[in-house]
Amino acid sequence: MTFENEKGIHTDFKDRMTYGDYLDLDSILNSQNRLSDHHDEMLFIIIHQVSELWMKLTLHELQAAINAIQEESYQPAFKMLARVSSIQNQIIKAWDVLSTMTPSEYLGFRDQLGNASGFQSYQYRMVEFALGYKTPHVIKIYEKEPELQKQLIEAYEAPGLYDVAIQALAKEGFEIDEDVLNRDLTKTYEVNESVEQAWIEVYKDTERYWNLYQLAEKLVDIEDWMQQWRFRHMKTVERIIGHKKGTGGSSGVGYLKQVLDHYFFPELWNVRSRL
């Protein structure tokens, strides 16, 4: 069947919204502004822009899931968290595309980046904030953009996904230390025995605590994918620039290797050894 045989297809859009209008494609597709004439700079820009779009959706889903868990509306939260895991899988695949760029090709335009770096991605830091890893340095980076800095501060001070999961344990009747329930949310979460013991009980009686058990496994999924993303990031950087410093001033591969050792939800991993 040819296009001509599809009599119902709309072709007159003088007064109607088109697909391009709805998606604002002119704005999106004209946002790849190369600073060099090097062929591979287009790849570099698009990979990072696409990743930022996926992170925008990740934040949208994470915040909605946090709100749903606070309201004890678990099934919608599980759907949102499962979607986050699928998004993470897509972002990881982006590294496979970027790794087709060789060191020589990257050197063809690297100087044009100046000190701009993915290290400064405010959305990535907001994802980390939502997962409970609070680092304040990115807030200073955006002093020149007060509205954006305000958003970052709000995310920095807000309860993260694991905070509301721990609150859910307390609502179920588990004895959680008060200093955990009332902790300073601007500090990175640290392992706590009362939280670990509660998760052990959840895993020992999954039928009784089915929602909490499901929640725990959704969190493990997200952390697993996050670590895989971090690993692919580190290996892609190592493949392209070796152990040079990053454009943003970080130690590059050295820094990326360090964060591989960080756990967002440490008790959920410790439980595996204690059951």
Confidence band (pLDDT; 50, 70, 90) for 163? very high
Residue 234 within any structural domain of the chain: yes
Which CATH number do you get for residue 109?
A: 1.20.58.480
Per-residue pLDDT tens digits for 223-270 = 999 999 999 999 999 999 888 876 766 677 887 888 888 999 999 999
Locate 157 and state its tokens: 């001070």
Q: Given the structure tokens 């695949």, which residue do they identify?
A: 93
Q: What is d(CA 149, CA 142) in angstroms, rounded to the nearest whole number?
A: 5
Higher pLDDT, 71 or 253: 71
Closest CA to 121 of 212, 184, 56, 211: 56
pLDDT of residue 5: 67
Q: Annotate 17-56 with b (16+ C-beta within 10 A) or e (fewer).
A: eeeeeeeeeeeeeeeeeeeeebebbebbbebeeebeebbe
Judged by average pLDDT, the poorest of 36-40, 139-143, 172-176 is: 139-143
**Binding residue per annotation — 9?**
no
Mean pLDDT confidence for 4-26? 82
pLDDT of residue 3: 58
Residue 2 within any structural domain of the chain: no
Mean pLDDT confidence for 176-190? 95
Mean pLDDT confidence for 127-149? 90
Residue 242 within any structural domain of the chain: yes
Q: What is d(CA 129, CA 131) in angstroms, rounded to the nearest whole number?
A: 5
**Binding residue per annotation — 45?**
yes
**pLDDT over 90, % of the chain:** 78
Residue 8 within any structural domain of the chain: no
Residue 256 within any structural domain of the chain: yes
Residue range of the domain that includes 166: 19-272
Residue 13 within any structural domain of the chain: no
Judged by average pLDDT, the poorest of 76-80, 102-106, 177-181, 251-255 is: 251-255
What total number of domains does the chain contain? 1
Distance of CA 261 to the CA centre of its chain: 17
- Mean of the per-residue pLDDT values of the chain: 92
**Binding residue per annotation — 233?**
yes
Residue 7 within any structural domain of the chain: no
**Binding residue per annotation — 16?**
no
Burial class for 149, CB neighbours closer than 10 Å (0-12, 13-18, 19+): middle
**Binding residue per annotation — 28?**
no
pLDDT of residue 1: 52
Residue 158 within any structural domain of the chain: yes
**Binding residue per annotation — 48?**
yes
Q: What is d(CA 90, CA 113) in angstroms, rounded to the nearest whole number?
A: 25
